[in-house]
Amino acid sequence: MLELATDPEIGGPEFRTVPTATPEEGVGIVEAPRGILTHHYRTDKNGLITMANLIVGTTNNHAPISMAIKKAATKLIQPGKPVGQGLLNMVEMAFRLFDPCFSCATHSLPGEMPLIVDVRDVEGGLVHREGR
């Protein structure tokens, strides 16, 4: 860590500018385990935040998460095959691949994840609902 923190090629003053006056706007981008985090802020003349826009990994990964869930559900749900808690676990695994924090972040206070899977026929009619 010390080597990286003192490396002039990645830690020089051109990469981080410390404001000398009250900033009006700022953007920060950080790589994190959940993906890229983008923070965008605007302030008033006193430096108080008037606008904050946070774009987190889940936002960036929404499309591939949805595609993975659809693919998992399409492969796992078969006519005549029971839908149960095992299926819910497999579907949950599809989105945990992209965002390991997502499933825990959606837990309710008692520690349960409100996951519901609706199985529908080709006309959109509800065939089965499994939840926890």
The pLDDT tens digits of the residues spanning 28-45 come to 888 877 778 899 999 999
pLDDT at position 93? 82
Q: Which residue has the tokens 């009006």?
A: 24
Q: Which residue has the tokens 């080597």?
A: 3
Residues 57, 29: Cα–Cα separation, whole Å = 11
Q: What is the mean pLDDT of each run of 10 residues along the chain (132 residues)?
A: 83 75 89 84 94 86 87 83 78 77 58 73 86 75
pTM of the predicted model over 0.85: no
Alpha helices in the chain (DSSP H): 2-5, 8-11, 57-60, 62-76, 85-96, 102-105
